[in-house]
Amino acid sequence: MEQVRKARVIAAKESLVSIETDGAAIVKNEVGYVLLEKEQLKAEVLRVRGNTADMQVFEDTRGVKIGDEVRLTGEMLSAELGPGLLGSVFDGLQNPLQPLADEHGFFLPRGVYPDPVNRVKLWEFKAEAKAGDLLVAGAIIGSVHEGVIHHRVMIPFDEAAEVELLEVNEGEYTVDSVVARYRRTDGSEHDLTMLRRWPVRRALPQKLFKHRYAERLYPNEPLTTTIRIIDTFFPLARGGTGCIPGPFGAGKTVLQSLVARYATVDVVIIVACGERAGEVVETINEFPKTKDPRTGGSLMDRTIIVCNTSSMPVAARESSIYTGVTLGEYYRQMGLDVLLIADSTSRWAQAMRETSGRMEEIPGEEAFPAYLDSSIKTLYERAGLLRNAGGDLGSLTMIGTVSPAGGNFEEPVTQATLGTVKDFLGLSYDRAYKRFYPAIDPLISWSRYLEQLAPWYKENLSADWTRDVQGMTELLHQGDAIYQMMQVTGEEGISLDDFLIWQKSNLLDMVYLQQDAFDKVDVSMSRKRQLESFYFLKMLIDRKYDFNTKEDARTFFTKLTGLYKNWNYSAEGSEEYGRYQTEMTVLAEEVSLVKEGPCR
């Protein structure tokens, strides 16, 4: 740690404070405290100009005046990493909100910064390395049980060379107790605790000089969300990136909640960076009551919530997303699969715009900072698939929801995000208005992972999976083109063959692209059942049917749609499950030109 230096306030404008030193160097992004009579306000250096600097204060700056003393710490804005993070609710500076509320009530005090990680709780530490072992940064020396996961204790990430483990002690310890000692190559010895600190604006390193302790890999398998339209048509990769843009009321909150609940990951991190307080409170209240489908316990047991609502200081809102990503990287280094959902990155970008405006920087499009695009790219690049020092695979999958004003996907934040992520799940107000869930519009959404993961699909699902999904996607586009024509000419203006194509695309939309978020069976569909459902539906669609009139076709597809939805609501292996499937098969054969099976 650098020596603490002093400065003084020379100007204050809302959350931006200008300071001046007597010649001491100032470091960009270091943390300082504005000292008032009874309070100290945390701040971060954003811009340095000789012996003066601009700092953003993470608190209300009422009472700050010219001449007030500022204490510079030399430390970067950092997150505490260690056992006890799971199940916690933090603000953007990693202040634990529950202890603050317990001590100070519902209105959070200014200038109070409790320890993010409990310093009193004892953890049963078990060694996984022994004295004499030569280890590199990130290597595992032991572990504790943190709820439902195996929390690994690692060599500090900033060790630049191999170290020798001198001793490791099993037993019950607090997070800041010494559990091991090691020696560097220069002969210096250092204590090791279960607690780490890491600058949130800097990604956890993956390579240090000649000693590689983490290897970044190409995502090679999908992340199962159990939501059909995502897993089948617009898949996410484990360790990949995606975005969910959509207007107000399109169902972003429900969708991200179900993805967090059912996705095949070990740890979930929810970052509410500027959402309305009501939505955040609902999340905080619901997650502890929600049954975890993976463990049977509470979903909150493997969840961390980082929240800075729209009513909290804008500067802390901007830092919240970096805090969440750092926590995600930490658990990834243990070999765990982590899902981070940021809601919404539009509010995060707006916070950057406000700060940039106060600093009088040259604005970019719609007054966003000129570095908006690079900031978004740098953020999403921290996701990925890694092999840690012990050979275990860990992943950080990042999904950012975007809230463009008026649902305009051409605005800067959405466009910058689309140029970065590889999965775009665009929500449509029209589909949401029709009570479609999820309201993902298949005509504008896309995923680059569908072809990237083709080898996995070929080995685990079907040799023709990618081609078959693309064929069904083309059917949706054909159906939409015919529907647009019908809007002009009416049904009389199209042929019976075109009418059948539209009915088939509508069947696909109604029974496969939509799910019932409130049905205990249909809310979540395993990948095995998705495979069966997809090819059964493809068989029904590929058949050539013999209809005399469009009304006959409409009656058939209406009945088929009802049976298929009931099949979706039936538990796998139940009597109803088999009965509805048989009824659909018989119904299709009654009007099929080819009795023996599907036409290809």
Known binding-site positions for ATP: 246-253
Structure tokens at 365: 């499009």
Residue labelled with tokens 């992972």 = 449
Question: For residue 578, which amino acid is it?
Answer: G
Q: Burial, 208: exposed, middle or buried (Cβ in 10 Å; 0-12, 13-18, 19+)?
A: middle
344 prior amide bond cis, ω within 30? yes
| CB atoms closer than 10 angstroms to residue 371 | 13
**What kind and span of H or E run contains 123?**
strand 123-127
Supply the DSSP symbol for 369.
Answer: B
Which residues, 6+ apart, have CB-to-CB distance to 247 below 8 Å? 403, 404, 406, 407, 427, 429
Which residues, 6+ apart, have CB-to-CB distance to 510 below 8 Å? 561, 564, 565
Q: Burial, 494: exposed, middle or buried (Cβ in 10 Å; 0-12, 13-18, 19+)?
A: middle
Structure tokens at 272: 């509410």
Cα–Cα distance, 16 to 55 (Å, whole number): 6
Strand pairing category for 337-343 and 89-90: unpaired
Cα–Cα distance, 403 to 244 (Å, whole number): 9
- C-alpha distances (whole Å) from 379 to each of 97, 138, 403 are 25, 22, 18
- In the beta sheet, which residues pair with residue 56? 16, 44
Beta strands in 473-562 (DSSP E): none
Residue labelled with tokens 């002009």 = 488
Cα–Cα distance, 10 to 7 (Å, whole number): 9
The alpha-helical segments, DSSP class H, found in 334-452 are 345-358, 372-380, 412-418, 429-433, 449-452
Supply the DSSP symbol for 214.
Answer: -
CA-wise closest residue to 276 among 346, 366, 368: 346
119 phi/psi in degrees, rounded to 5: -90, -5
CA-wise closest residue to 184 among 128, 131, 135, 142: 135
Q: How far apart are the first and last CA of the chain?
A: 69
Q: Which residues are annotated as a binding site?
A: 246-253
442 prior amide bond cis, ω within 30? no
Cα–Cα distance, 414 to 377 (Å, whole number): 12
Strand pairing category for 337-343 and 303-308: unpaired
